[in-house]
Chains A and B, each alone.
Chain A
Amino acid sequence: MKHTKSTEPNVLVDICLKDIQGIHPEVQNIVARTADVIYASAPDDFSELTLCYLLTIHPIHVVELETQLYVIAGFRSFELATLALTRESTITCMLHANIESKDLTNIAMIDIAGSPIMHSLGAKFVQQLQNLVQALGERVLTLFPRLQSIRRIRGQNKSTT
């Protein structure tokens, strides 16, 4: 299951996606509350290559519980990986060794609420995205074909009304 073994508390390990059992039981309730959340992208907006890189940049965080691996943070990464990759894919995850059970809730909430605040573009989302595309050039469009129609990424409401 794990390719590297270490006594260090947190290690990056390569894990086969099917070996992750799911979201940690302690935080399942919290994650379930995000079912209403609308993101700017859908699982099929990413190519396999871009998704693999993104998953390395924003890894899935797992802990071992009774010899099984459970996700404690990086829920969005986990969701995209599950829906867009095959179950046999190997991805790099952060394995936490010493996390107290009482901290799990906090970590989960920090990920769910903090990550969007940290990453999402602020005012004038579409315009900023267009600026980014212009600044980065054609290459970014080959990596993210959806960026060719930015309005679509923004979501239905704006484009239909």
Chain B
Amino acid sequence: MDRTNQLLKALAQLEITGKDAEGLLGLLDFIDVPNDLYCVGAVLENVAAALELPLIKEIAPHTKLVLQALEYRSKTYYLIEKLQKHRDKEHFFRPRETSIKVAMHSYITDHQLYVLLFMNSDKNQLFYHTFRQILLFLPALIAKHTDLNPDVYLKNSDKKELSEIFREFSQETPITDWYSVITGEKYDSLSSFIRRFGQLAAHLKRLNYSKKYRQIKRLATLIKILQLGLGIPRKRKSSKGRQRGSSPHKPPEIDGYTALTGEMLVKLTLPDIHDEDNLVYAIWESPGDSVDYDAIYSGEEEQEQEVGEVYIFQTAQPLESYVQAFHGKRVSRAILNRISRQNNYLPLSLQMLSPYELQLLVMTIANEPDSTDTLLLQLIIMTMLHTAAPFERARELLFANKFHDTEVQANIGYEYSSQSWIIPALNLNYKTHADYHNVQKAAYLLRLPATELCRRKFDELKKIQQPTETPEKPCNKTNVLSEDIKAYMKGIGTGTLTKARISNHLLISACAVFGQATAALLFNREPPGSMARSYYTSLHTKLLQQRYTTLLGNEATSFGKKINAAQQVEQPGWIGARYRPEITEVAAAVITMASELSMLQARLIEPGKWIEFHNLYITYQVFCQSLLTGMRPITIPLVNPEQVISSVGVFIRKEKAREDEFNTRHIPICQTVLALMSAYQRHMLIVKSRLFRKSIPLSSLPEIFYLDINCLPRPFQPLLYQQVLKRYIDLPPNLNRRLLRNFLEEQSVPHEIIDVVMGHANIGEQYWGAHSTLSMRDIRGQIAPHMTKFAELLGIKTIQGLPA
């Protein structure tokens, strides 16, 4: 949309349309208004004051400019009056913010003069108004001189400099003091105004302060720009052919399209040849008036042109679609790159061990070592295998009798007292820190039960080197080098084992069986792919211990052995995400909300109670629906019937404002959600009927809103929601996603199904995407019983809204 249309649209919102609006366009351009009319009221007040002052001498001889000043002045008043009546007038008048940089943030670059028109001064307002009058007419004055002398012209950079300098000056006390000394004077002409600035330079020279030289220089620039209005050309550096630095990046479709002239792209071919190689592309411009058809038909044109090869029009397509397709290709290539970057695609045989190799490895480790060094090598390989630790980490293994639960562990270790591996809890790097005081903190370490082989090996070690009581460094440093390990591995089987395959083996198996999140928590290692899963998952240590045992059991059966794992150590707590919402506390919040709602329902007859009811009802609906769907509680966190495909019970939703397909996901929904949705729809209909009685236009209502005490709608915002929610549960609004993910993980729902529900996936591997082979029906079939159970555990009931 071009500027005129945008301005007309903005004016239409002020109920100024048709000729009235068109008449105002001149004024709006005159003051260089931004398209959204931001703070235009405040600016117009200043403009009116500036135009009320006697016009400067330089303008007076130009009747057109004088008439323009008069016309704009009356239009200014007209527009101010309209703005005063507008219900959203805060947007147009002076914001509370006084810092010009903050108040006019994002307008400064494009509307330099507008910003100056907006500025106010406590002590120098009159001076500012005079300056504004000059500013308003400066472009016109310069344009008049340009006609006589082409060397006098105003560049955009001049405007920018002018704006920057004046803004800088407005914060300098020596300068503003000087302004206030002269503010009572009358400036009847631009030349006298400029003269005054000349005196300011002399004044500054006499002062003694740090920035004065910079400001004297800036002042000289300011004067030079203003002098353009008097017809005095400004010396400019000759522009070089090439721009310095790199030119700003332009999206390719603009580049490509504007560089190609014409409307159609046609494919030409020779009459007898249909070979692809002989195709010629041409850009065809639709014939305009300039083509002399008569000349062509009469044959004159043909005689003047040499007729070469004859081409046949094979196909043609609009150039625009060609450009789009071209751009599409580029984008898709970029996406493919992103996908392959994120998912380190490698055949599994290159990443993990085969059952045979695993068997060989375990047998080698089990061998009686012939020396201490061999024992250490065996121990390190065993650590790599059993804790999925890279060599560098395994080498730093600590062994001690007891590890402290309350200390942050840096290294993995082996604890003799509990016969367990010690894995430091996965530490996710959060950009923001948040402390939730009333919630249980995550555990610092995870104890994984060691197998019989591991226990035996560590007991052998104990004979050589007594473990310390607590983990201490560097008392049990092993000093094993990468070379030693490589040499040792050469002797196993065909000698093709690598360190990476050993340490990745269990990690990859865990990913396949339990999903990426569990694998990351178990071994404190992030597998490749989307990290989102780990950020949302927090699991009890007990569950992780069980899963570890299962995993080792699977591995052992792969080569026909039974595993004898140590007893799990009772270790309360959980590890994972930043906080862990518990079902009981969320259920308590749901029940409290529901009982408060039913109390309010009994008192709906009291005046104004329904507003309270509505606000809590909205919170309840958002809370329950988002719990059951795993929606992000942002923009509009409710299931909309238009987004539901009821035949498969799937809700299609786009949550992040991005154009790519990665953020449109399909969420299977359960019956409770549908019931909640229809209760909400009815409730909103009744709320609308009540607002209608208050003469609030229904078309202006946001999709979801709270009501203030005067029945005025306030659009739903996560922050408002959080404020209400805080009364029931003191956790951030996205607790729903964490709770859901944990619940489903604990129910041992297949991880790909969890990913569908949460909308987590590696780029290009969406389970709900067009290329996915998972059927939505199957997904829903697997998830539905769990969701019903979840709703039951949380005590979510469909509460009817306002009765009528």
A and B interact physically: yes
Write the residues of chain A forming the contact surface with B, with a CB cutoff of 8 angstroms: 22-23, 28, 31-32, 34-45, 75, 79-80, 82-83, 155-157, 160-161
Interface size on B, residues (CB 8 A): 27
Task: For the complex, give the distance between the alpha carbons of A155 and B604 in Å.
Answer: 11
B693 to A31, Cβ gap below 8 A?
yes
Given A36-B608, A42-B686: A83 in contact with B692 (beta carbons within 8 A): yes
Residues of A within 8 A of B694 (CB): 31-32, 35
Question: What are the 3 closest A-B residue pairs judged by CB atoms, nearest first?
Answer: A155-B803, A42-B804, A156-B803
Residues of B within 8 A of A45 (CB): 804
B698 to A82, Cβ gap below 8 A?
yes
A35 to B711, Cβ gap below 8 A?
yes
B607 to A42, Cβ gap below 8 A?
no
A82 to B692, Cβ gap below 8 A?
yes
Q: Which residue of B lies closest to A84 (CB)?
A: B685
Q: Which residue of B lies closest to A25 (CB)?
A: B695
Residues of A within 8 A of B802 (CB): 38
**Is B167 an interface position by the 8 A CB rule?**
no
Given A42-B685, A43-B689, A83-B685: A31 in contact with B695 (beta carbons within 8 A): yes
23 A-B contacts (beta carbon < 8 Å) = A28-B695, A31-B693, A31-B694, A32-B694, A35-B610, A35-B690, A35-B691, A36-B605, A36-B606, A36-B608, A36-B609, A40-B804, A42-B803, A43-B686, A44-B682, A79-B689, A82-B692, A83-B685, A83-B692, A83-B698, A155-B803, A156-B601, A160-B598
Residues of A within 8 A of B695 (CB): 22-23, 28, 31-32
Residues of A within 8 A of B690 (CB): 35-36
A42 to B682, Cβ gap below 8 A?
yes
Task: For the complex, give the distance between the alpha carbons of A39 and B686 in Å.
Answer: 10
Which of B686, B691, B693, B698 has the largest count of A CB atoms less than 10 A from its CB? B693
Residues of A within 8 A of B609 (CB): 36
Residues of A within 8 A of B682 (CB): 42, 44
Q: Which residue of A lies closest to B687 (CB)?
A: A35
A79 to B692, Cβ gap below 8 A?
yes
Given A35-B711, A36-B607: A75 in contact with B693 (beta carbons within 8 A): yes
Q: Which residue of B lies closest to A32 (CB)?
A: B694
Task: For the complex, give the distance between the alpha carbons of A161 and B692 in Å.
Answer: 30
Which of A34, A45, A157 has the largest count of B CB atoms less than 10 A from its CB? A157
Q: Which residue of A lies closest to B602 (CB)?
A: A157
Residues of B within 8 A of A32 (CB): 693-695
Q: Which residue of A lies closest to B610 (CB)?
A: A36
**Is B654 an interface position by the 8 A CB rule?**
no
Q: Which residue of B lies closest to A159 (CB)?
A: B800
Q: Smallest CB–CB gap between A127 and chain B, Å?
A: 19
Given A32-B694, A36-B610: A44 in contact with B800 (beta carbons within 8 A): no
Task: For the complex, give the distance between the alpha carbons of A75 and B604 in Å.
Answer: 21
Which single member of A35, A83, A161 contacts B602 (CB below 8 Å)?
Answer: A161
Task: For the complex, give the distance between the alpha carbons of A157 and B688 in Å.
Answer: 21
Q: Smallest CB–CB gap between B534 and chain A, Å?
A: 43
Task: For the complex, give the distance between the alpha carbons of A155 and B610 in Å.
Answer: 14
Task: For the complex, give the distance between the alpha carbons of A160 and B800 in Å.
Answer: 10
Q: Which residue of B lies closest to A83 (CB)?
A: B689
B601 to A39, Cβ gap below 8 A?
no
Q: What is the 8 Å Cβ interface bit string for chain B, positions 591-631, against chain A (1 contact, 0 not)?
A: 00000001001101111111000000000000000000000
Which of A28, A34, A43, A161 has the largest count of B CB atoms less than 10 A from its CB? A43
Which single member of B608, B688, B800 contacts A83 (CB below 8 Å)?
Answer: B688
Task: For the complex, give the distance between the alpha carbons of A58 and B804 in Å.
Answer: 19
Q: Smallest CB–CB gap between B689 and chain A, Å?
A: 5
Q: Smallest CB–CB gap between A160 and chain B, Å?
A: 6
Task: For the complex, give the distance between the alpha carbons of A23 and B690 in Å.
Answer: 14
B687-719, CB < 8 A from A: 688-695, 698, 711
Residues of B within 8 A of A80 (CB): 689
B685 to A44, Cβ gap below 8 A?
yes
Task: For the complex, give the distance between the alpha carbons of A145 and B206 in Å.
Answer: 91
Q: Which residue of A lies closest to B609 (CB)?
A: A36
A155 to B804, Cβ gap below 8 A?
yes
Residues of A within 8 A of B692 (CB): 79, 82-83
A79 to B804, Cβ gap below 8 A?
no
Residues of B within 8 A of A161 (CB): 602
Task: For the complex, give the distance between the alpha carbons of A157 and B698 in Å.
Answer: 28
Task: For the complex, give the distance between the alpha carbons of A37 and B605 in Å.
Answer: 7
Q: Which residue of A lies closest to B802 (CB)?
A: A38
Residues of A within 8 A of B685 (CB): 42-44, 83
Given A43-B689, A44-B682, A79-B693: A38 in contact with B804 (beta carbons within 8 A): yes
Task: For the complex, give the distance between the alpha carbons of A22 and B693 in Å.
Answer: 10
Task: For the complex, give the distance between the alpha carbons of A41 and B803 in Å.
Answer: 8
Which of A34, A45, A83 has the largest count of B CB atoms less than 10 A from its CB? A83
Residues of A within 8 A of B601 (CB): 156-157, 160
Residues of A within 8 A of B607 (CB): 36
Residues of B within 8 A of A83 (CB): 685, 688-689, 692, 698
Q: What is the 8 Å Cβ interface bit string for chain B, positions 792-804, against chain A (1 contact, 0 not)?
A: 0000000010111
Which of A31, A35, A36, A156 has the largest count of B CB atoms less than 10 A from its CB? A35
Q: Which residue of B lies closest to A112 (CB)?
A: B693
Residues of B within 8 A of A23 (CB): 695
Q: Which residue of B lies closest to A31 (CB)?
A: B693
B689 to A42, Cβ gap below 8 A?
yes
Q: Smallest CB–CB gap between B802 and chain A, Å?
A: 8
Residues of A within 8 A of B691 (CB): 35
Task: For the complex, give the distance between the alpha carbons of A83 and B691 in Å.
Answer: 11
Which single member of B604, B608, B698 contacts A38 (CB below 8 Å)?
Answer: B604
